[in-house]
Amino acid sequence: MVRIVQKYGGTSVGCVERIKHVANRIKRSKEEGHDLIIVVSAMGKSTDELVSLAEDLTDTPSKREMDMLLSTGEQVTISLLTMALQEIGIQAISLTGWQAGIKTEASHGNARITDIKTKRIEEELSQGKVVIVAGFQGISGSDITTLGRGGSDTTAVALAVALKAGRCDIYTDVTGVYTTDPRYVKKARKLHSISYDEMLEMANLGAGVLHPRAVEFAKNYDVPLMVASSIEDVVGTMIEEEVTMEQNLVVRGIAFENDVTKITIKGLPNQLNTLSKLFTALSENQVNVDIIIQNQYDDEHVNISFSITQSSLKETLAVLQGQQEELQFTDIYFEEDLAKVSIVGSGMVSNPGVAAQMFAVLAENEVFIKMVSTSEIKVSVVVEEADMVLAVEMLHNAFQLAEEVEEEVKVI
DSSP string, 46-70: HHHHHHHHHHHH-SS--HHHHHHHH
Query: Poorest-confidence range of 78-82, 171-175, 393-397?
Result: 171-175
**Predicted confidence band of residue 85 (pLDDT cuts 50, 70, 90):** very high
SS3 373: strand
Query: Residues 274-291: pLDDT tens digits?
Result: 999 999 999 998 899 999
Backbone angles phi, psi at 53, to 5 degrees: -60, -45
Distance CA 131, CA 95 (A): 7
Q: Tell me the domains of the chain and their CATH numbers.
A: 3-173 (3.40.1160.10), 254-398 (3.30.2130.10)
DSSP-derived letter for residue 377 is: T
What average pLDDT does the segment 251-270 reach? 94
Query: Residues 186-215: pLDDT tens digits?
Result: 999 999 999 999 999 999 888 888 888 899
Which residues have a Cβ under 8 Å from the Cβ of 202 and sit 6 or more positions away? 177, 194, 209, 253, 255, 344
What's the pTM value of the predicted model, to 2 decimals? 0.84
Asked if 198 and 346 count as a contact pair (C-beta separation under 8 A), the reply is yes
Distance CA 24, CA 245 (A): 35
Secondary-structure percent of the chain, ordered helix, strand, coil, rounded to 5: 40, 30, 35
What average pLDDT does the segment 224-251 reach? 81
User: With pLDDT > 70 as the criterion, what percentage of the chain qualifies?
Assistant: 96
What average pLDDT does the segment 331-340 reach? 96
Backbone angles phi, psi at 43, to 5 degrees: -65, 125
Query: Residues 96-131: pLDDT tens digits?
Result: 999 999 999 998 998 999 999 999 999 999 999 999
| Paired residues of 237 in beta bridges | 227
Q: Residue 180: which region, alpha, beta or left (left: phi > 0; alpha: psi -120 to 50)?
A: beta
What does the pLDDT read at residue 405? 44
Query: Residues 135-176: pLDDT tens digits?
Result: 999 999 999 999 987 799 999 999 999 999 988 999 998 899
On the question of pLDDT at 410 being above 70, the answer is no
**Predicted confidence band of residue 247 (pLDDT cuts 50, 70, 90):** low
What does the pLDDT read at residue 124? 97
Residue 368's CB is within 10 A of a number of other CB atoms, namely 11
Asked if 29 and 62 count as a contact pair (C-beta separation under 8 A), the reply is no
What does the pLDDT read at residue 209? 85
Cα diameter, the chain: 77
DSSP-derived letter for residue 135 is: S
On the question of pLDDT at 52 being above 60, the answer is yes
What average pLDDT does the segment 355-365 reach? 96
On the question of pLDDT at 181 being above 80, the answer is yes
Distance CA 67, CA 145 (A): 6
Nearest to 136, CA basis, from 227, 39, 45? 39
What does the pLDDT read at residue 408? 40
What does the pLDDT read at residue 243? 61
On the question of pLDDT at 242 being above 80, the answer is no
DSSP string, 186-209: TT--B-SEEEHHHHHHHHHTT-TT
**What average pLDDT does the chain have?**
92
DSSP-derived letter for residue 232 is: B
Distance CA 254, CA 380 (A): 10
On the question of pLDDT at 403 being above 70, the answer is no
Query: Residues 376-391: pLDDT tens digits?
Result: 999 999 999 999 999 9
What average pLDDT does the segment 26-48 reach? 94
Distance CA 175, CA 173 (A): 7
What does the pLDDT read at residue 238? 93
On the question of pLDDT at 297 being above 90, the answer is no
SS3 371: strand
Distance CA 82, CA 133 (A): 10
**Predicted confidence band of residue 234 (pLDDT cuts 50, 70, 90):** confident
